[in-house]
Amino acid sequence: MKIFDPHVHMTSRTTDDYEAMAAAGIVAIVEPAFWLGQPRTSAASFVDYFNSLLGWERFRASQFGIRHFCTIGLNPKEANNPKLANEVLNLLPRFLQKDGVVAVGEIGYDDQSDEEEACFVRQIELAREVNLPILVHTPHRDKKQGTIRSIELVRSLGFPEERVLIDHNNEETLPIVLESGCWAGHTIYPNTKMDEARMAALVLKYGSDRIIVNSAADWGISDPLKVPKTIAVMREQGIPEETIQTIVWDNPANFFAQSGQLDLAGLGERPVIDRAQKFETNSVLRGDAGQTAG
């Protein structure tokens, strides 16, 4: 089965992870721009980060046979630093039009502050201008209210709901998202949020329409194999293969294809692995063949 993990922060992960993901059937991924743990103090840090999502990380994924796409945006947490946020928002238009950018994101609410809302609104408007879908993060605290506010904001701005992916859903928020025209992402985490069995139960209850599953693996406790592990549990629960394939491939592919940046016909073919290739002067190899510092 072909697998698409549409939310995984590979910058924080190792080459072992890439190898394991490819072996488990993951062919395509989306890496959303997000918070790095350590707060950034300068817009220039965002420039380097966005460039690395578009350049080095995409190259690194290709060296393991995985297609890498990204979303670019100012995350809600760092939206709470107004001076920096404004500088980053001004940078976005030049990055959003680059190859491989499949949405504006992750954007949305974290503490549900006024500053976050202002940045959320500006980035929805930007998405409309550059004709990209949006990837919306929902908060850990007061998730239900954050989900409702996100949908209401999208509606009040007249942004097309079929171009909105609301992420990190649970049992409480999924029906709210499905009632709208938005798509519903689910993050399968080792200890918190959704797990494999709860996800399978949601699929048994709601089916596959507009339902998406991801690992959101990053620098915290998380697991980049959570999508394949969820497939195994869905199979145990008797969910048909076609339903599973819709959730772990067709849905994310069709959602992000709205960007015009995904070639649906070629998406399922892995990039040819050629480790003689370099990105600028670096390769993933060691020693004479590569010049990776270590």
* Nearest approach, Cβ of residue 198 and Zn ion (Å): 19
Q: Which is nearer to Zn ion, 256 or 271 (CB)?
A: 256
Q: Which is nearer to Zn ion, 34 or 59 (CB)?
A: 34
* Nearest approach, Cβ of residue 292 and Zn ion (Å): 26
Q: Which is nearer to Zn ion, 34 or 50 (CB)?
A: 34
* Nearest approach, Cβ of residue 205 and Zn ion (Å): 25
Q: Which of 163, 164, 251 is nearest to 206 (CA)?
A: 251
Q: Which is nearer to Zn ion, 46 or 283 (CB)?
A: 46
Q: Which of 31, 93, 69 is nearest to 259 (CA)?
A: 69
CA-based R_g, the chain, Å: 18
- Rounded to whole angstroms, the Cα distance separating 166 from 151 reads 8
Q: Which is nearer to Zn ion, 147 or 283 (CB)?
A: 147
**What secondary structure letter does DSSP report for 263?**
-
Residues that bind Zn ion (CB under 5 A): 34, 216
Take residue 242 and report the two structure tokens written for it.
Answer: 């076609």
> Residue 65: phi, psi to the nearest 5?
75, 25
Q: Which is nearer to Zn ion, 7 or 149 (CB)?
A: 7
CB 22 within 8 A of CB 64: yes
Take residue 183 and report the two structure tokens written for it.
Answer: 């798509």
* Nearest approach, Cβ of residue 249 and Zn ion (Å): 20
* Nearest approach, Cβ of residue 167 and Zn ion (Å): 7
* Nearest approach, Cβ of residue 267 and Zn ion (Å): 21
Q: What are the strands of the beta sheet with 26-32, ordered from one edge?
A: 3-5, 26-32, 67-72, 101-108, 134-137, 164-166, 183-187, 211-214
User: Which amino acid appears at position 186 of this protein?
Assistant: H
